[in-house]
Structure 1
Amino acid sequence: MAKAETNSKTALIAELNGLLADHFALYTKTKNFHWHVKGPRFRDLHLLFDEHAVEIRDQIDVIGERVRKQGGETLTSIGFIAKHTKIKDQDSTTLSPDDMITELRDDNQKVVDRLKAMKDLAEQAGDNATDGLLDDWTDMAEERVWFLSSFLG
């Protein structure tokens, strides 16, 4: 393997692990909001947040397996997740529904941005499988952004 391809593969593995950390953190935040949302839109938001959490959760194993298939090691702890995620913790259980929606929309947009930036890395690493998955994951994250934005009017 050429040095440039090896460097690209190493960079891709690092970004996949960052994406994995983002998914764990976003899953946890989405479940937090699912459990703590209140108000007249409770049912709609409770169900939406749960649907999004399940979709995010279901991507976690696939992302981790892409890392392993590339010969890399995956994240190993909560500390790793905290160090590598772009998603900030939210410990409040009293946010307004609009604040929850806004925060999840913005966090999902961070995932979209990371995914789009990874396309070149996958191409440079010659990883067609990851390249294709990035398109699917981007579409899912963009849909979450769209749905959340729709609740804000």
Structure 2
Amino acid sequence: MGKKSEGKKAATLPVDIGISNDDRQAIADGLSRLLADTYTLYLKTHNFHWNVTGPMFQTLHLLFETQYNELALAVDLIAERIRALGFPAPGSYSAYAKLTSIEEADGIPSATEMIQQLVIGQETVVRTARALFPIVDAASDEPTADLLTQRMQIHEKNAWMLRSLLES
């Protein structure tokens, strides 16, 4: 039998994907803000799903459920990209509260106010993603650019669908 390696810590290999450590850090920081915005929007959307009332209840209840389920999948993709870049992903309410640009809802808003707040939230996520493109493009980080493009398309579509509900 060979020697036991108990107690020995395996050497960590540095991340060597063709993007400098500083650029990877800057991208991971931006993705952490995107993760915080996405998780905060997930929580807000789920809250509204539970608490919506009124004549549009069934429509909004189902729409909010579709959107929060998609957001739940998105947070995993974003966190995994941060990890692939070699950095820890934030994962606590306190971290998200410091990083997010999305405001929490006060009390239980009306259905119309819920829709308005979610439009603002969806568009906030788009702006957070878009702001990250200059560093991502400069670093030739195509996987992150692809992730950002997909997220922006989804959030822009969600904002449009929600906004359409507000038209008379």
TM-score normalized with structure 1 length: 0.93
| 1:55-104: CA deviation from partner (whole Å, max 9, x where unpaired) | 111101110010010011110321101110111111412x1111000000
Distance 1:60 1:76 in 2: 10
Query: Structure 1: which amino acid aligns with 2:159?
Result: V
Out of 22, 38, 43, the position equivalent to 1:7 is 22
% same residue:
35
Equivalent residue for 2:133? Answer: 119
Deviates more, 1:122-131 or 1:47-56: 122-131
1:31 correspondence with 2:22: no
Identify the residue that residue 75 of structure 2 maps to in structure 1. 60
Q: Distance in 2 between matches of 1:132 and 1:103?
A: 27
Please give the secondary structure, in 1, of the residue aligned with 2:89: coil
CA contact (8 A) 1:5 1:124 kept: no
SS at match of 2:86: coil
Q: Does the 8 Å contact 1:5/1:126 carry over to 2? A: no
Aligned match of 2:92: 77
Q: Which has the higher contact order (CA 8 A, sep 6+)?
A: 1
TM-fit CA distance, 1:126? 2.4
Contact 1:24–1:57 at 8 Å: present in 2 too? Answer: yes
Instruction: State the distance in 2 between where 1:33 and 1:65 align.
Output: 27
**Of 100-109 and 124-133, the range deviating more from structure 2:** 124-133
C-alpha distance in structure 2 between counterparts of 1:136 and 1:46, whole Å = 25
The TM-score normalised by the length of structure 2 is 0.85
**Distance between the aligned counterparts of 1:68 and 1:62, measured in 2?**
10
Structure 2 CA distance, aligned partners of 1:9 and 1:64? 14
The equivalent residue for 2:119 is: 105
Distance between the aligned counterparts of 2:91 and 2:46, measured in 1?
Answer: 21
Higher helix share: 1
Aligned-partner Cα distance in 1 for 2:135–2:65: 32
Could you say what the CA RMSD is over the residues aligned between the two structures, in angstroms? 1.5
- Higher-Rg member (1/2): 2
Aligned length: 150
Give runs of aligned pairs for residues 89-104 of structure 1, distance below 5 A.
89-93=104-108, 95-104=109-118
